[in-house]
Each structure stands twice: as C-alpha cells, then as structure tokens.
Amino acid sequence: MTGIADDATELRSVPLAGLEHVEYCERQAALIQIEGIWSENIHTVRGDLVHKGVDLPGVRSRKGINGIRALPVFSSELGLHGVCDLVEFSGNHAVPVEYKAGAYRAGGPADVQLAGQAACLTGAGFAVPVGYVYSAADRHRHAVPITDDLLDRMRRAADRLRALLEHDQLPRARNDARCRRCSLRDDCLPTLTHRADPPVDLFTPRPLGGWHD
C-alpha cells in the first residue's frame, strides 16, 4: 500500500529525511537514526527557521492549485514514510516542494529525498513528473525531474539506510570536506573515527605511579 498517511498508519520503514542523510554521509545517518544524536549549528538553525512556515499543517488554494503543507505520506511497498513540506495538487498531478536553507546543488542529496516523496505520491495515484527544491539562500525553486534513474538512486539509498538500521552499527567517518559543515562533527569526531584502529592510548587508562611532575 502506498499513499497519503492518516492517523492510523504506523509503518515499520525508513524516514524520507533519512534518505538525504544517508546520501550525504552514512555515518551522519547512523548517528541520527541509531544513536538519536542531533546537534545544532548555524546551518541547522537556518533550516529550522526556513521550515517554520511549512511545518504547520494547512491548505492554500490559488489559481486552481491546492497546496497542502506538512503532508504525511508513506509507501509500505517501498518502506518509506515521512512528511512533505508542501505538495501542490492540480487535477491528477502532484508537485512536492522541499524547503532547504542552503544553496541548491543539482543532483545532490535533496533530490533523493524529493524522489522518495514523489514515489509515495505516485503510489497514491498521482502523476508526479517533477518536484522542486526551494532554496532560501537564493529564494528560488529549482526543478527536479523525477526520472527513472533518480528513483533507482532513491531506492538504493533506502536500502542502504535500512541496512544501517538493521545492523545497528556506526560506519567509520570519512573525514573529508563534508565534515566541516556537519552539526554532528563534535559528536562524530571524524579525525579519530575515520581510522580503522583509533588511537588506543586515547581510551586506555593511564597506569598508576611513574608520573614525573
């Protein structure tokens, strides 16, 4: 079953937001989804501010287009659930709009999250040829065609996220450019955890005696 969720829907599946996390960094996804860790930085605070307007459920109608904010969706077939920031309906067509605070990067992780939303809406019987990522940084909607290739990428991301949750283990950090902007940097400690063998003396108690003051 696939579609728009109601209060009785309780699915064991992976969250749509997790698709973006696992595409950006598998360790970040595991820290959030397995360890329940979340820390704020300037980028996450900006994201919260951008979402304030669309996180409140509501309906708006304009020029034959009905927009629904904070719309829960799910797909038991694909094992997905989550909330669309905004979906605009016109006849049998649905257009999901994902809001982001930062600059949009074509082909980036946000596209994969949007594809998951599109798949849920398609399963509910709507045609979803395109979605949009709204970037608050440039105040512009960026069109994202919902192609077969993008949907395949989304399914692979969902499988990777599901595997992380099933194994219940944190992957090693990559310690690359992505870490600089990550709000979980201090929780992740990428300069240490990217190694297969973290420094033993960091975690080994010092022996008693033999101190030279």
Cβ-count burial of 154 within 10 angstroms (0-12 exposed, 13-18 middle, 19+ buried)? buried
Nearest Cα residue to 131 out of 157, 156, 105, 99: 99
Predicted confidence at residue 9, as pLDDT, reads 44
DSSP string covering 123-152 = HTT-B-SEEEEEETTTTEEEEEE--HHHHH
What's the gap between Cα 21 and its chain centre?
Answer: 4
Predicted confidence at residue 8, as pLDDT, reads 43
CA distance 187 to 81: 27
DSSP string covering 1-43 = -EEE--TT----SEEHHHHHHHHH-HHHHHHHHTS------HH
Q: Name the DSSP class of 168.
A: T
> In the chain, which residues have pLDDT < 50?
6-11, 199-203, 206, 209-213
CATH ID of 2-203, from 3.90.320.10, 3.20.20.450, 3.40.50.300, 1.10.10.10: 3.90.320.10
> pTM here?
0.77
Q: Name the DSSP class of 205.
A: P
Predicted confidence at residue 201, as pLDDT, reads 47
Predicted confidence at residue 212, as pLDDT, reads 45
Residue spans per domain, the chain: 2-203
CA distance 144 to 127: 14
Predicted confidence at residue 151, as pLDDT, reads 98
